[in-house]
Amino acid sequence: MPNIWDRIKATFSKQSPEAAPQQVSAETTVPIASPVPDTITSAQAYALDHKLAEKAKELLEHIRCETESLHTALVPLIEAKHPIIRTIFPILQAQDVSMIGQEVWEGESQETAVAKYLHQPRDIWRLFPVEDNLGIFEEMMPYTMIDWREKDAFGEIASSRFVGMAELCDYAVDKTSDRYMQYKNDYPYFCAKQILMDGLGRYEYAICRETLIGCDYSPEQQTDSTLTHEEYGRLTDRSIRELDNCQLRFDKTAERLREYVQGISVDRTAHANNKSQTHARGYGR
């Protein structure tokens, strides 16, 4: 009679149905896996990125030439405080948009202009050190900073309260005062000039800059992209279309501004012609 160890050995030596090798008949078709497309090579990626970088450089040069032309045409009108500047100021304000990382900032050029006009330091924390220590100005948008600059220049302390050991003041701005009304009257002019200096095309410039940073590498560097050449090409084409859309938006703004300038030139020419004809008729009498 077999002992217990013999029975255990016999049990484990038996092959389970799941472990038994399956017989493959001659008629069985073994599926063949489809080939995996090769990822893009470094040379191919560099060629596509070079194409994208050239498009960004072309747009940057276009923006530079257009802004210089508009600056030359509009700054004399600003310095003369021509009424047309008030009309086109909303167009310029819409262009006062910049990018910090992936975040859109509006009014940065205007905030810079206000600081200059009010003879204030560029860093707003120098005006309100207590509020700055409490982190009030962290991630604050430019338009809100303009409100604080107006509080410093035109405001009076209306009330105050203590937060720990710090005294925070609430300010009231008399918007009917002569100084404030003069400031608001001049606002479109000094802000328009600042926007023309560094705000016009600023958003498009930021997009181009980010594009060039992403394409700034040597052709010898190895790519770590897992995309195929076709997929990488589609992404490149999409980026080029985004640059084309940036140029389209910028050109629409530039064309609208140029139409106003040309309208002024036509009015001046017509006025000069009328004046010369009047003088001619006077001399003929």
Angstrom distances, CA of residue 233 to CA of 45, 51, 130, 230, 252: 9, 10, 53, 5, 29
Q: Is residue 94 part of a domain?
A: yes
CB distance 43 to 219 below 8 Å: yes
Q: What is the pLDDT of residues 109-157, one digit of tens each?
A: 999 999 999 999 999 999 999 999 889 999 899 999 999 999 999 999 9
- Is the per-residue pLDDT at 285 higher than 50? no
> Could you list the residue range(s) of the whole structural domain that residue 188 is in?
41-215
Q: Is residue 152 situated within a structural domain?
A: yes
> Is 249 within a domain?
no
Q: How far is CA 55 from CA 59, 93, 150, 239, in A?
A: 6, 27, 42, 10
Number of domains the chain is built from = 1
Question: Burial level of 24, CB count in 10 A (0-12/13-18/19+)?
Answer: exposed
258 within a domain of the structure (yes/no): no
- DSSP per-residue string spanning 39-64: BPPHHHHHHHHHHHHHHHHHHHHHHH
Q: pLDDT tens across 225-254, in order?
A: 888 999 999 999 999 999 999 999 999 999
This prediction has a pTM of 0.73
Residue 225 lies in a domain: no
pLDDT of residue 267: 52
First to last CA, the chain: 152
